[in-house]
Amino acid sequence: MFAQQIDTQPGPSSLRDSTFLEEKAFQSRTVLIFGTVTDTLASETVRKLLALDADSDAPITVIVSSPGGHLESGDAIHDVVRFISAPVNMVGTGWVGSAATHLFLGAPRERRYCLPQTRFLIHQPSGGAGGSASDMALQAKEIIKARERIAQVISRETGQPIERVRMDIERDLWMSAGDAVAYGLVSRIIQHKRELDPR
């Protein structure tokens, strides 16, 4: 007996629904960053930020729920958030980890918020070094440089001493919403969009 095959490909109706929801989010100047941080996600996010910035100087809200991913893709979003003229409100929800925490720190501290159940994760970058001994040595040097760069950004954006940050990212450091506020990752915990800075 054969199991009935279920078509998992999105049909015209679901594609229309997805397009409609994307348009509504765009009209409300909201950008969603959900899932693993990849070059594709970074490209889509940067395009949206640039388009919204060109449209108006009104604030943009970026909602983040991501375990992290590719560090340099997170760099791209982090830097463009700082590059554009429109102010960006970052709102964490679910979990914000690793490269997602890095892009989250692109907004100034007073514009970094989270919902009550959000968890945050900071740690040093990891890499699967392979190849020849000289290639592995080069990769190790790059990871060390990336670790120091991450530590400098976290220290700058939270106000924590660089020595403490270097120690904190040696291992996974998980934080609750309250812990993240105390650490300086987040300015405050909110429960409703009306609590965002309207300016």
Q: How far is CA 114 from CA 37, 109, 181, in A?
A: 19, 12, 9
Active site residue 123: yes
Residues 6+ apart with CB under 8 A from 36: 66, 67, 68, 69
- Say how many CA atoms lie within 13 Å of 44 toward its Cβ: 11
Distance, CA of 42 to CA of 170 (rounded, Å): 26
**Active-site choice (70, 78, 102, 123):** 123
Q: Please, where are the H alpha helices in the chain?
A: 12-27, 39-55, 71-83, 99-104, 133-158, 162-168, 177-183
**Which residues are catalytically annotated?**
123
